[in-house]
Amino acid sequence: MVFDFLRRKKSFQGSENRFFDLLSHQSLKSIEGLDALWNFAENGTKENANLVRNIEREADELRRILIQELDQTFITPIDREDIFELSRAIDDVVDYANTTVDEMEIYEVKGDHHIKEMVNILRKGARELYDAVKILKDYPKIASEHAVKAKSYENQIEKAYHMALADLFKGTDTVYMLKMREIYRHLSNAADRGDEAANIISSIVMKHT
């Protein structure tokens, strides 16, 4: 039984870039998802909504591939748990983009300036994460700097989120307030997942340098 397990597992043997490449592809897909969400916030067409959903499905497929690679690989370049958790955090950002579209359609609300501001900040954070992941193997110290910048955008999101709530609760339409609060919360949650991804990157750098 043990020997069967070891035979099933693969060492890298010249393919140690595989996980870094998959994480980079995931990070790039999160940028695409947030760019598509921005377009939907600007123009809430069905076509723009479906683009977000298609990107989210592609992102899920990348994560499934990475998980299978983890299952089939005996030796990984960085801690197995870190690869798994970083992949999940990056994927969650795209998931929140998708659920934001779902709820905006269900609640029949349009993207206001607060939503657009928050999505734009998320896009900037996602680009920093991508820049961090794509050079994590070869330039970990610089990758850590990008992770720190990504975290700074999470702080900006929190400020934007509280400003959005403050403006929202100045209104008198309770139903609209409840709907928009949910949308804002989804975007804040997306930022939290981006922040977690940045923390994992920083932790990886500390462990391996």
pLDDT tens by residue, 134-183: 999 999 999 999 999 999 999 999 999 999 999 999 989 999 999 999 99
Specify burial of residue 40 (Cβ count, 10 A radius: 0-12, 13-18, 19+): buried
Predicted pLDDT at 3: 34
Distances (CA, A) of 59 to 15, 55, 70, 146: 22, 6, 17, 22
- What pLDDT, in 10s, does the model give residues 173-209? 999 999 999 999 999 999 999 999 999 999 999 987 7
Predicted pLDDT at 171: 87
- What pLDDT, in 10s, does the model give residues 96-143? 999 999 999 999 999 999 999 999 999 999 999 999 999 999 999 999
Q: Which fold has domain 17-208?
A: Methane Monooxygenase Hydroxylase; Chain G, domain 1 (1.20.58)
CB neighbour burial string for 53-76, b if at least 16 within 10 angstroms, e if fewer: eebbeebbebbeebeebbeebeeb
Instruction: Please state the domain extents for the chain.
Output: 17-208
Predicted pLDDT at 16: 64
